[in-house]
């Protein structure tokens, strides 16, 4: 089983969506992403308050002094009932029929809308039986869920909505559409990679133009699974091994520094191999994989940026290194959508964890565009595309000066990506690769399946 992975923070009528937890490093030296929705966010704040209430209703309350074994017994006795009731409650929340939200949408001034927000939820496959029989293994269960998702789940999952969004962009402009995806632990599933490989063209970006897929993830030095001793040694400023008083501590630091230490220091190296596999599938079409490495910092940012070219692209910084020129977003008006939330776009996010992301569709899209949101006075706004986004609840984000508000939103979203790219280097697939040990090969199978 996976973990509860949603990161949503609500104070009054303000919502903070992020991929960040509340541990100390997120306030000091761990790079993440945050988006603040104020004044109720057009109903989005209420949605997440309801989502949190639902999840709390089906959670186990911790009681001090009660043994964990006793709690587990209580949980097992009502597990199947909880599964069915939870799915029903989530379906009612996500189907766009919330009465309070409908009342609020009747008073939406379309001239003030700058974007539409579509919250999504991802739940573990174990919460919903894919068939009447019990799967013999996890792989079988995942296959059945993928093949029968519409029959199995009463609402579209985040991974399905995300893939349909990407397919809609490709339908609009298959040559020039670009997707930029950030993940702390890049491990794209086969279904996601099958769509990412569609971006760009076989000739690549020979002329420096055209769309592509750009994947951003942690480099070995800034990886979240870098060993604790290595992290302490890095953040200790000018502290050297000789500055430690304890001989055992000196040995630990020295061992990790040479890459031979025990623990979880092997995980960044294993992820590097997975990232190379992803890179090999997109570079021939002009795509790139970027590795984030900032001294003393770890990387935990996740999200997606979807762009289609506008009529007049421009360069903001003529001094940008040429090898990064297509990685940056130079025309903020090209931003058509972004996704913020907890998902890492990997196996764990798709199959094991409870996640929530929020898709923002920019308003400045022509009426004939497949990504356009159309609003009915009596219904929830919905995205009209060949690839259905399902009946997810949709919220209009408003600003009195909608033109400047839209431009500002696109600029901030583009700046998020560009700021991350300042600390990246492109993965080089031409370097000779050392043969993998049997242990690392076995570890790769585990990472691909569970992380």
Q: Which pLDDT tens digit goes with each residue over 144-173?
A: 556 656 666 778 899 999 999 999 999 989
Token pair listed for 128:
């919903």
Per-residue pLDDT, 315: 39
Segment 119-127 mean pLDDT: 84
Strand 213-218 and strand 8-11: the pairing is unpaired
- Residues 6 or more apart whose CB falls under 8 angstroms from that of 253 comprise 229, 233, 241, 244
201 versus 294: which is more confidently predicted? 294
pLDDT band, residue 429 (cuts 50/70/90): confident
308 neighbors 334 (Cβ within 8 angstroms): yes
pLDDT tens-digit series, residues 256-290? 333 344 456 678 888 888 899 899 999 999 999 99
- State the Cα–Cα distance between residues 266 and 269, nearest whole angstrom: 5
C-alpha 79/C-alpha 353 separation (Å) is 17
At 31-61, the pLDDT tens digits run 999 999 999 998 999 999 999 999 988 877 7
For residue 75, name the pLDDT band (cuts at 50, 70, 90): low
% of the chain exceeding 90 in pLDDT:
36
Alpha carbon of residue 92 to chain centroid: 24
pLDDT of amino acid 239: 39
Length of the chain: 451
**3-state secondary structure labels for all residues of 154-181:** CCCCHHHHHHHHHHHHHHHCCCCCEEEE
| Buried-exposed string 233-260: b where 16+ CB fall within 10 A, e elsewhere | bbeeeeeeeeebeeeeeeebbebbeeee
Predicted model pTM: 0.80
pLDDT of residue 431: 66
Report, as an integer, the average pLDDT of 284-311: 90
d(CA 230, CA 236): 10
> Quick check: 126 pLDDT over 90?
no
Q: How far apart are CA 87 and CA 128, in angstroms?
A: 8
Q: Which residue has the higher pLDDT, 244 or 217?
A: 217
Q: Which two tokens stand for residue 291?
A: 């590795």
User: Mean pLDDT over all residues of the chain?
Assistant: 75
pLDDT at 77: 55
pLDDT tens-digit readout, 338-351: 999 999 999 888 88
């Amino acid at each position: 089983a996976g973990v509860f992975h949603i990161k949503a923070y609500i104070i009054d009528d303000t919502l903070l969506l992020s991929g960040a937890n509340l541990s100390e490093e997120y306030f000091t030296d761990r790079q993440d992403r945050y988006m603040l929705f104020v004044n109720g966010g057009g109903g989005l704040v209420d949605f997440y308050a309801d989502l949190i209430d639902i999840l709390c209703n089906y959670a186990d309350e911790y009681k001090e002094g009660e043994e964990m074994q006793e709690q587990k017994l209580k949980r097992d006795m009502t597990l199947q009932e909880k599964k069915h009731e939870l799915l029903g409650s989530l379906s009612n929340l996500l189907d766009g029929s919330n009465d309070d939200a409908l009342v609020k949408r009747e008073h939406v001034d379309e001239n003030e809308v700058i974007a539409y927000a579509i919250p999504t939820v991802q739940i573990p496959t174990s919460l919903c039986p894919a068939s009447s029989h019990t799967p013999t293994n996890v792989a079988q269960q995942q296959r059945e869920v993928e093949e029968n998702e519409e029959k199995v789940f009463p609402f579209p999952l985040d991974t399905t909505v995300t893939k349909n969004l990407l397919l809609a962009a490709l339908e609009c402009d298959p040559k020039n559409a670009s997707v930029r995806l950030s993940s702390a632990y890049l491990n794209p599933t086969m279904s996601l990679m099958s769509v990412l490989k569609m971006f760009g063209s076989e000739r690549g970006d020979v002329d420096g133009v055209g769309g592509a897929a750009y994947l951003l993830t942690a480099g070995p030095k800034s990886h979240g699974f870098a060993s604790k001793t290595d992290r302490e040694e890095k953040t200790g400023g000018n502290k050297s091994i000789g500055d430690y008083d304890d001989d055992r501590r000196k040995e630990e630091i020295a061992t990790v520094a040479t890459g031979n230490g025990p623990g979880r220091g092997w995980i960044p190296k294993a992820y590097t191999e997975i990232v190379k596999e992803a890179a090999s599938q997109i570079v021939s079409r002009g795509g790139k994989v970027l590795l984030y490495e900032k001294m003393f910092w770890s990387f935990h940012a996740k999200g997606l940026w979807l762009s289609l070219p506008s009529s007049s692209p421009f360069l903001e910084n003529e001094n940008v290194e040429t090898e990064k020129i297509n990685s940056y977003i130079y025309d903020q008006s090209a931003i058509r959508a972004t996704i913020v939330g907890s998902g890492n776009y990997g196996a764990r996010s798709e199959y094991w964890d409870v996640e929530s992301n929020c898709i923002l569709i920019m308003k400045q899209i022509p009426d004939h565009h497949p990504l356009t949101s159309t609003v009915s006075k009596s219904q929830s706004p919905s995205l009209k595309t060949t690839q259905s986004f399902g009946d997810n609840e949709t919220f209009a984000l408003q600003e009195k000066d909608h033109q400047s508000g839209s431009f500002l939103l696109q600029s901030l979203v583009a700046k998020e990506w560009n700021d991350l790219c300042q600390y990246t280097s492109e993965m080089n697939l031409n370097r000779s690769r050392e043969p993998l040990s049997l242990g690392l090969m076995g570890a790769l199978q585990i990472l691909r399946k569970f992380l």
